[in-house]
Each structure stands twice: as structure tokens, then as C-alpha cells.
A and B are shown apart, each in its own frame.
Chain A
């Protein structure tokens, strides 16, 4: 039957992709060395072929999942015939093997896009970029084929049914969070490839940064959304109401985000002013290296985490070699080829250049802080100094002040001029915004909670200090245009991208501040007709019933909520599920989302006699956390459609038109 050969087709497609990756890694680079343009031209078709074959492999694995082919070990261990089709499709990346396949598919996708959109760039540059992308790709394909083959069969004892997907992963969050995150991780490979290509070619001018900037923006946008989705998923699925745990794997995604943010800003300086050249290259290398390290940490099992996949030292060793070779070689290349004499482009101590430098330094310090906290347990364990874990107190104690400091400089940055500017001019521009931020920030907690709170004020002042100068800057820029409408229309997408990105961070900051300080949480015992009041809402349990889902049994309670002010009522249904195949219990949280507050009810233990432990939480402004992240991502994407990147595309379009008859 055709179904039975699908996994073999997928396996074969994987090997084809590997062969193409190797050709793409070797031939174009050899072409550059020997100046043969035919060899250089090998890159584009190979990149396309790799993408096609990996897509085929991926479709084959998905088909095996959808058709319940339990002769495939990966399917038998992670899926189940009772699973709804959309979780079967997303279960593909809910496990180690499948998720590396998705990783590779995305890498090939980015590689294909990078070669398709770069036809107007110098040929040797494109050849080098394609070659570097293919080296990374070949490494991962070898990793899949040698240690993590998703098409491994269970023959001849084919199980009648699968083991079921981990219930934690049976959720919309799983459908979207990992792909977004991987898109971000992998996207930085393009920027990395551009940086390495520039180092190899010895052409560390502003040109490569202009080519690399759109890719960095898009990758960063994906990573931002991916992290936010992960936080949102943890919030509603794990049943604790937390949104960030400083878990090693969360940190692993935050690290490239921090250096990626620094990279976006450093790329801007290099493109506009030609300075920070080596620094930008180093950030590009670090960002991708940290993405790879994140992959290593998740898959090798060296750290304990809620995310860790099965602990298999041989896989860990392979990724470590991959990581080691990539990072060591690129850093070595950097050490040998970084510009010998950096062109000192002078700038005053008060200028946008210097402020961006401070921003970069702060982001790097934050990265090192998180990195140390994440790796410290591992290092102590390796030196036989005992097993410890570094918890939120460490991270909060260092990260919060650094963030506030970063915001202090962020407020100044957009209003400052390149090169140099007088302190007086900056003060004139910003004193009103500063005073406004201070007054509103200090008074807001008094008005909101009737009591002053240092942390809330600090957070709000920082957020307002980002927003108000931006508002003033937009108004200033429009003033010269005559009418406000015309002025707003004249501002470039790149500028709007910056405004949106900074605004997003401010929104996230408000969310973090308010929810951390004004969160109300109560653990109560509830039985039918018991009423509990939390933060001005009355919760009454109306009913306690059982139901049967497609692959689980559930105890459901029906809770009526009455709002204090206007007496409006609505219903909430928290659930406790028992998944049949694995016998794993899961809490299904009931959430009532709102722009200014979430209500959160989680069912806990059965206390007997028809009563249940319930955790009720009131979470003000928690949505702002993720809303801010979406704004930041939107800003990054908006900046990409700016004219100066489009010009490349138009020129390419014109060239194609001439060729096509």
C-alpha cells in the first residue's frame, strides 16, 4: 500500500536534501575561490532543491501522523488515533525528532528566500552567503539522519495504537509557539551568513549591513512573537498564572532576543554612520550562536527544565560538536579578519551614536547576566561543587534595574541627533516629557490603589519616559509639514517601525509592572453554591459535573461571576482532565480576558464531598505584556517595507522584466 512507503519517501527526501546541502556548501565557495561563475551559480538551484525536498520530508512525516501510521516510532510515541487531526498535525513538532525536522525545513526556507531575494547583490557575496547557510543546514541534516531520524520504524511489532501526545502539548499554544520561535532562531542564520560572508570577503562596509537589516528585523519579529506566545501559553496552560519563570529554556530564547535587539540597533549605526563595524559582526555571530546554544540546552538534557526533550547524550554530543565547530570557527574568523584599523568615526559623548553604544552595552550586560544565571548550576555541577538552581530572585535583582537603566537611555535616543548634539538642545526637547513622566508615574499608583508603591512608580515612569519623548518627536517632525496629516504621511515606515517598537516595549513594561504588583491570588475551597469574593468580583460555584472529551475524562465546574460595580454576571468553566492513554491529569484553566484585567480560575485537588480546591486570580493589565510584544514585532516588520530596502527589489523586478520576453 502507498501509505506504508510514505516514511521511506520522507527518509529518502531527507538524504537528497543533505546531498544538495553539501553541494551548496562546497561548490559556490570553490567558485568564488577559482572565479568561476558557473560554480557560483550552483547555490540558488541547490537552495531551492533543499527546500523542496525538506518540504517533502516534512509532508511525509505529517502524512504518517495524520494517517496513524504507528509503524513509525515517532508517531507511535507521540500520537494516538483518538487525537483530533489538528493536534496530530502539530504533534509533528511536539517531540525532538519532528521539531529538528521543522527546524531544518525552516532553515532551508530562509536559505531559499535569502537566495531568491538577493539576485541583485554581488555574485560572490551571494555565493558565500549560500555556502554558509548550506554548511549550517548540512550539519543539522546530518544530525537528523545520524541521531534523530523521525522516520525510524517499529517493525515487525507494530503497536495497535500510539502513546498519546503529552497533554500539556495538546493546545493551540503548541500549534503556534514552537514554529514562531524556530522561525526566529533560524532566521538569524541569514544575518549570520551575511556577516560571515562579509568577513570572508573582507568587505566589512555599510553595504552588507543594508542587505542584512531586513532579515534581522524579520527574524527578530518572529522571535519576539515566539517568546510572547510561549509566555502566554505558560500563563493559561500550566495552571499557575505565571508568565515568565526564568526557566533555562525560556532564558535560552531570551538570550538571542537580547543580542538580537542589540544587533538591530548596531546594524542601524553601521548602515547610517559606518561605525561599530566589528561590533555588528560580533553581535550577528553571537545572536546565531546563542540560538544554537538554546537548541543544545533544550535537546541535550544538561539542564533541568519543563521543556527538556528526552535526555540522550549521543544527541547532545552531536549538537555540542555542531555548536562548537560553528561558534569556534566563526569567532576565529572574526578574530583574524575583523577590520585591522577600525575607522574611527568620531562622535560626541552626547549623540545618538553614543546613546546607541550605551544601549548595546546594557543589552550585552543583560545577556551575560542571564547567561551566567542559566549556566551557573551546570558549571558548579561540573566542578563537583553541588547541585543548585538559580531562581527568579537572582534574575529579578539584576534584570529589573538594568531594564530601568536601559529605559532611561531609550527615552533620550530617538530625540538625539547623530554625531553630536548640545546638552541644552536635548534638555529643551525633553524636559516637559521628563516632568510629565515623573508626575504621572508617581501619582498613578496613588490614584489606582490608594497607596504609593515604589516599584509601580519606577515602572510607569520608565514606560512614560519612553513614550512621551516619542510623542513630542512625532509632533516636532510634523510641525514643519504644515498640516498634521501631511506630516504623519511623510514620516518613513522605518521611523514608524522604530516608534512602534519602542511603544511596544513601553506597553510590555506597563503590563509587567502592574501585574507583578497588583496581582490578587486566593486559594479557596469551593462546593456548589459557595460564594467567594476576590478583587471586587463574586465567584459562585453553580454546578459540578463530569464529561467525556475525545481522549480524556473531565470534572467541570460552572462558576458564576458577578462584578461588584454594575452587577453584570457571566459564567466560567474551569476543568480538571484525566487523559486516558497516559493517565496524566491536567488542569484546564478558565480565563476571562480583558484589556485591563484577566480573571483566572483553576481547579485544584478534589477535596472530597463534592468540594474542590480552587485558585482564583485577578490579573490587571496582564494582556499588555503580549500586546506590547506584538507591537514590537509589528514595528520590526514595518521597518522592512521602507523604501530603501524596496529599491533593491524594484531593480531586481526591472531586471527580470527585461529578461522575460
Chain B
């Protein structure tokens, strides 16, 4: 066999590898954010802080808001708290969704790790979480002043995500 023909083998592989490299930056599930550019789902619930205060989706109108889905049972949520506090320090309105949790546990969590939230929607059955298509906590949604979801952060907000992803998105929709 001609030797140079054999050289096509490594070259061919390099070609495939280039496609792999291209594919790395892309998210194959990118289309999954079905709620993108849709209104925040309608809901009716009480708050974690006050069992008598009823809130609904109008809560999120009028100002750009970050909605963070968390639970006391979720270890990544504890790690995420410093980043959420930092975002609150930037003057961003934060609303929590206390997801599949018990009231006293949720409150104890905020006492221990800090409370960046204006208020927390109490969602013990996970029904709001279901409407939001949450896979697991933590997840964060950016809702604009008209109550439309503009950004969805799946999973934990790393310290580097604050500057790199969250703040630019907030600025974009303010």
C-alpha cells in the first residue's frame, strides 16, 4: 500500500476531532429551555416567612428579578448562598422559591446561611417547580419587568458565574 495513503488515517481522525472541539462549546440541550421568552407560569402560594401572606405571578412584575429555586436539603444551595448574597448587594431584586421543603427547615437555613431574598415563595409540593420545569435545586430564572423569563441558569451559580453570566444578563434586561 502507498504509505501516504496511510497518512490519511491520522488526518481523518484530526478532522473528526475538530468537530468534537466545535461541539464542546455547544450545549446539545440548549433547546430545552422551553420557558425562554415566555411569561413566568401563573401560581398562587403563601410565603415561607408568613403562612398568611398570599402571592401570585404579579409579584414579579415591575422590576427585573432573579428567582432562585432552593431547598434546605440541597447541599449545592448552601455553596451558592455567598454568590446570591453578592448579587443582592448589586441591588438586584431576589425572590426565592423554597422547593419541596419544610417551613421550619427552610427558615433555619436562611438564619444560618444568610437571606438575600425579598421574600420566599413556599412550594412544599413542588408544583411551581414542576411548572418551571425544574430538574433539581438550585436553578435560577431571570424574569424581566414584564414578568417574562429571559434567562435560565440550571444548577449551581459558581463564584465566576456572577460576573461572567448573571450580571451581564441582568444588565441586558434592565
Report A's interface with B, CB cutoff 8 A: 70, 76-77, 154, 157, 159, 161-163, 278, 282, 289, 296, 300-304, 310-311, 313, 316-317, 320, 323-324, 327-328, 331-332, 334-336, 338, 340, 342, 375, 377-379, 381-382, 387, 581-584
Q: Is the beta-carbon distance between B24 and A316 smaller than 8 angstroms?
A: yes
Which B residues touch A300, using CB under 8 A? 20, 23-24
A324-B17, A335-B6 given; 7 more Cβ-contact pairs under 8 Å: A154-B75, A302-B26, A311-B29, A320-B21, A331-B13, A336-B3, A381-B23
Measured in the bound complex, the distance between the Cα atoms of B12 and A327 in whole Å is: 11
- Identify B27's interface contact among A278, A282, A301, CB under 8 A: A301
Q: Is the beta-carbon distance between B75 and A338 smaller than 8 angstroms?
A: no
Measured in the bound complex, the distance between the Cα atoms of B24 and A163 in whole Å is: 27
Measured in the bound complex, the distance between the Cα atoms of B78 and A323 in whole Å is: 36
Q: How many Å from the CB of B88 to the closest CB on chain A?
A: 18
For B65-93 the 0/1 string (1 means CB < 8 A from A) is 00000000111101100000000000000
Which A residues touch B22, using CB under 8 A? 382
Measured in the bound complex, the distance between the Cα atoms of B100 and A381 in whole Å is: 37
Q: Is the beta-carbon distance between B24 and A303 smaller than 8 angstroms?
A: no
Which A residues touch B78, using CB under 8 A? 157, 159
Measured in the bound complex, the distance between the Cα atoms of B76 and A310 in whole Å is: 14
Q: Is the beta-carbon distance between A313 and B25 smaller than 8 angstroms?
A: yes
Q: Is the beta-carbon distance between B25 and A163 smaller than 8 angstroms?
A: no
Measured in the bound complex, the distance between the Cα atoms of B19 and A331 in whole Å is: 18
Measured in the bound complex, the distance between the Cα atoms of B27 and A335 in whole Å is: 35
Which B residues touch A584, using CB under 8 A? 136
Q: Does B28 contact A (CB under 8 A)?
A: yes
User: Given A154-B75, A157-B78, A335-B6, do A328 and B29 touch, yes or no (CB 8 Å)?
Assistant: no
Q: Is the beta-carbon distance between A582 and B136 smaller than 8 angstroms?
A: yes
Which B residues touch A328, using CB under 8 A? 10, 13-14, 17
Which B residues touch A582, using CB under 8 A? 136
Measured in the bound complex, the distance between the Cα atoms of B126 and A324 in whole Å is: 45
Which A residues touch B126, using CB under 8 A? 583
Which B residues touch A311, using CB under 8 A? 27, 29
- Identify A324's interface contact among B1, B14, B26, B129, CB under 8 A: B14
For B25-37 the 0/1 string (1 means CB < 8 A from A) is 1111101000000
- Identify B75's interface contact among A163, A301, A375, CB under 8 A: A163
Which B residues touch A375, using CB under 8 A? 16, 19
Which 5 A-B pairs give the minimum distances between C-beta atoms?
A159-B75, A335-B6, A302-B23, A331-B10, A382-B22
Q: How many Å from the CB of A248 to the closest CB on chain B?
A: 10
The interface centre, meaning the residue of B9, B17, B25, B136 with most chain A CB atoms within 10 A of its CB, is B9
Query: Would you mind naming 30 contact pairs between A and B with Cβ atoms under 8 Å apart?
Result: A70-B75, A76-B75, A77-B75, A159-B78, A161-B75, A163-B136, A282-B9, A296-B20, A300-B20, A301-B27, A302-B28, A303-B23, A310-B155, A324-B13, A324-B14, A327-B17, A328-B13, A328-B14, A328-B17, A331-B10, A332-B7, A332-B10, A334-B6, A336-B3, A338-B6, A342-B1, A382-B22, A583-B126, A583-B136, A584-B136
Q: Does B43 contact A (CB under 8 A)?
A: no
Measured in the bound complex, the distance between the Cα atoms of B31 and A520 in whole Å is: 35
User: Given A157-B113, A328-B14, A334-B6, do A378 and B19 touch, yes or no (CB 8 Å)?
Assistant: yes
Measured in the bound complex, the distance between the Cα atoms of B28 and A656 in whole Å is: 56
Residue of A nearest to B156 (CB): A77
Interface bracket on B: 35 or more
Which B residues touch A296, using CB under 8 A? 20
Q: Is the beta-carbon distance between A581 and B20 smaller than 8 angstroms?
A: no
Q: Is the beta-carbon distance between B6 and A163 smaller than 8 angstroms?
A: no
Residue of B nearest to A75 (CB): B75
- Identify B7's interface contact among A161, A162, A335, A381, CB under 8 A: A335
Q: Is the beta-carbon distance between B73 and A302 smaller than 8 angstroms?
A: no
Report B's interface with A, CB cutoff 8 A: 1, 3, 6-7, 9-10, 13-14, 16-17, 19-29, 31, 73-76, 78-79, 99-100, 113, 126, 129, 136, 155
Q: Is the beta-carbon distance between B23 and A163 smaller than 8 angstroms?
A: no
Q: Is the beta-carbon distance between B24 and A317 smaller than 8 angstroms?
A: yes
Q: Is the beta-carbon distance between B19 and A382 smaller than 8 angstroms?
A: yes
Q: Is the beta-carbon distance between B76 and A77 smaller than 8 angstroms?
A: yes
User: Given A334-B6, A387-B31, do A161 and B73 touch, yes or no (CB 8 Å)?
Assistant: yes
Q: Is the beta-carbon distance between A163 and B9 smaller than 8 angstroms?
A: no
Measured in the bound complex, the distance between the Cα atoms of B24 and A317 in whole Å is: 7
Q: Is the beta-carbon distance between A157 and B79 smaller than 8 angstroms?
A: yes
Which B residues touch A581, using CB under 8 A? 73
Q: How many Å from the CB of A53 to the closest CB on chain B?
A: 29
Measured in the bound complex, the distance between the Cα atoms of B9 and A335 in whole Å is: 8
Measured in the bound complex, the distance between the Cα atoms of B155 and A335 in whole Å is: 46
Which A residues touch B26, using CB under 8 A? 302, 381-382
Q: Is the beta-carbon distance between A302 and B20 smaller than 8 angstroms?
A: yes
Q: How many Å from the CB of A26 to the closest CB on chain B?
A: 24
Which A residues touch B16, using CB under 8 A? 375
Which B residues touch A387, using CB under 8 A? 28, 31
Which A residues touch B25, using CB under 8 A? 313
User: Given A324-B14, A581-B73, do A381 and B28 touch, yes or no (CB 8 Å)?
Assistant: yes
Q: Is the beta-carbon distance between B17 and A323 smaller than 8 angstroms?
A: yes
Which A residues touch B23, using CB under 8 A? 300, 302-303, 378, 381-382
Residue of B nearest to A310 (CB): B155
Residue of A nearest to B126 (CB): A583
Q: Is the beta-carbon distance between A163 and B10 smaller than 8 angstroms?
A: no
Q: Is the beta-carbon distance between A320 and B10 smaller than 8 angstroms?
A: no
- Identify B24's interface contact among A159, A310, A313, A327, CB under 8 A: A313
Measured in the bound complex, the distance between the Cα atoms of B3 and A338 in whole Å is: 9
Which B residues touch A323, using CB under 8 A? 17, 20
Which A residues touch B3, using CB under 8 A? 335-336, 340
Measured in the bound complex, the distance between the Cα atoms of B99 and A159 in whole Å is: 17
Measured in the bound complex, the distance between the Cα atoms of B16 and A107 in whole Å is: 26
Q: How many Å from the CB of A94 to the closest CB on chain B?
A: 15
